[in-house]
Amino acid sequence: MSTTVPPPDVQPDFDTSPPVHGAGLERDAEKAASRRGFLVGLPSYAYLVAFFATPLLIVVVYSFASRSVRGATVLTDWNLRSYGRLTDSLVLTIAWRSLWIATLTTLVCLLIAYPFAYYLSTRPARIRAVLLVLVMIPFWSNFLVRTYAWRMLLGGDGPFTRLLEAVGIDGVQLLFTPTGVMVGLVYGYLPFMILPLYAALERLDHSLVEAARDLYASGWQAFWKVTWPLSRPGVIAGSILVFIPSFGAYVTPEILGGRGSTMLGSYIARQFIGSASDWPFGSALSVAILVVMMIAATAYFRAGGKNL
């Protein structure tokens, strides 16, 4: 999603496990409670099954369908043709490009966000609160608007290009290039990297760093051996939060990209909106991208993050 607020990483201390020795009455009470819990959750569960799980299934079903001469989807003639096309050189190029851009975006975000978050976390509490609010404001601003800002800036007679020309750097073309898309993605998702990093660094026990320095470690060593490993969960959380939407990006490449910057998201969209009209193929692509996301998300959960 475009904006997410990661909640604090807290473990429940409310024990809801049923009592070990149950007399008949207690067991009935448990069962009643259990049933109640299920009923409370039922409407949401049913809604999600109807409007999330079923659509997911439909996409999978469509990925095996065929396409008529005129571009309509035909739900007979089941086949694996769409999946076969996933190994097309064009698809592979676009997938590779998406991977490349997403990874680069994540790295750049990390490089920019880490020193920033570190600085933030070592300020006195009052200043920290103010700075945090200042970070949140662009974060909660409309994602499309923030991407549009770069469309405006990077244009031929846009302020950014003219600034460069004033300094003597001519002929820089960022709009409609993969670099332009990456700038837009970094700008859009930077707050997703800042916030988890900040959360992790803020929780850091500074006495550990002090201890390291006491033991004659240099500033750099203290950072590398103490701070960095302890902030790893934040790094991982931030990286996943930036990588996943960047990989499946659609809006940013549509606005800032041109020929040669097509990413998976826009490629999929084109199968449904636009002239291509190939729903089975688009569905197969969507399934593929979903599988990749699942793998990335599982990696995140394995690496220890329980809450996003």
Partner 1 sequence: MPGAGGPDVAEDSLARPRRAVDRVLAGNAWLVFAFLYLPIVVLIVYSFNDNQRVGIWTEASLRWYGEMFGNARVMDALRNSILVAIVSTAVATVLGTAAGLSMERYRYRGQRAFDGLLYLPVIIPDITMAVMLLLFFVQTFDLIFLATGIQFSRGLGTIMLAHVSFNISFVALVVRARLAGLDGALEEAAADLYANRWQAFRRVTLPLIAPGVAGGALLALTLSLDDVVIAEFVSGAGSTTLPVYVFGALRRGVTPLINAVSVLMLVGSILLVLMSLAVSRGRESSGG
Partner 2 sequence: MRVRLTAVLLVGALALAACGREVGQDTADGDPDDGQTAAEGGEEVSCDVDETDGDLLLYNWSEYMDPDLLTAFADEHGVAATEDTFTSNEALLAQIRAGGADYDVIIPSDYMVAIMIEEGLLLPLDADALPNTDNVSGDFMSPPYDPDLTYSRPYQWGTTGLGVNTDATGPDPEATWGWLFDEQMREGLRISMLDDPREGMGAALYYLGYDPNTTDESELQEAADLVANNDQIVTFTSDQFTELLIGGETDIGQGFSGNFLDNFEEDNYVYLIPEEGATIWTDNMAILNTTSSPCTAHTFINFILDAENGAQLTNWTWYASPNEAATEFLDEEVRENPSIYPDESVRENLYFLENTGEAERLYTDLFTRAQG
Binds 190, which of partner 2, partner 1, none (CB < 5 to 8 A, cut-off by type)?
A: partner 1
Nearest to 113 by CA among 229, 193, 183: 193
Minimum CB separation from partner 2 for residue 173, in Å? 8
If the CB atoms of residues 174 and 193 are measured against partner 2, the closer one turns out to be: 174
Tell me if 202 contacts partner 1 by CB under 8 A: yes
- Residue 31 phi/psi, 5-degree rounding, is -65, -40
- Segment contacting partner 1 by CB under 8 A, of 79-87, 89-97, 166-174, 261-269: 261-269
Minimum CB separation from partner 1 for residue 228, in Å? 14
- Whole-angstrom Cα distance, residue 243 to residue 249? 10
Residues 29, 86, 99, 308: which binds partner 1 (CB under 8 A)? 308
If the CB atoms of residues 23 and 51 are measured against partner 1, the closer one turns out to be: 51
CB-based burial label for 161 (10 Å; 0-12, 13-18, 19+): buried
Q: Is 181 in contact with 266 (CB distance < 8 Å)? A: no
Which residues make up the interface to partner 2 (CB under 8 A)? 38, 45-46, 49-50, 53-54, 57-58, 61, 68-76, 78, 90, 93-94, 155-157, 173, 175-176, 258-260, 262, 270, 272-279
Binds 259, which of partner 2, partner 1, none (CB < 5 to 8 A, cut-off by type)?
A: partner 2
Side-chain-side CA neighbours of 199 within 13 Å: the count stands at 20
Site string for partner 1, 276-305 (x = CB under 8 A): ---x--xx--x--xx--x---x--------
Site residues for partner 1, 70-99, by CB under 8 A, read none
Q: Which residue has the tokens 């692509």?
A: 285
**Other Cβ atoms within 10 Å of 307 Cβ, number:** 10
If the CB atoms of residues 113 and 174 are measured against partner 2, the closer one turns out to be: 174
Binds 270, which of partner 2, partner 1, none (CB < 5 to 8 A, cut-off by type)?
A: partner 2
CB-based burial label for 116 (10 Å; 0-12, 13-18, 19+): middle
Q: Is 67 helix (H, G, I), strand (E, B) or coil?
A: strand
Binds 258, which of partner 1, partner 2, none (CB < 5 to 8 A, cut-off by type)?
A: partner 2
Q: Is 202 in contact with 121 (CB distance < 8 Å)? A: yes
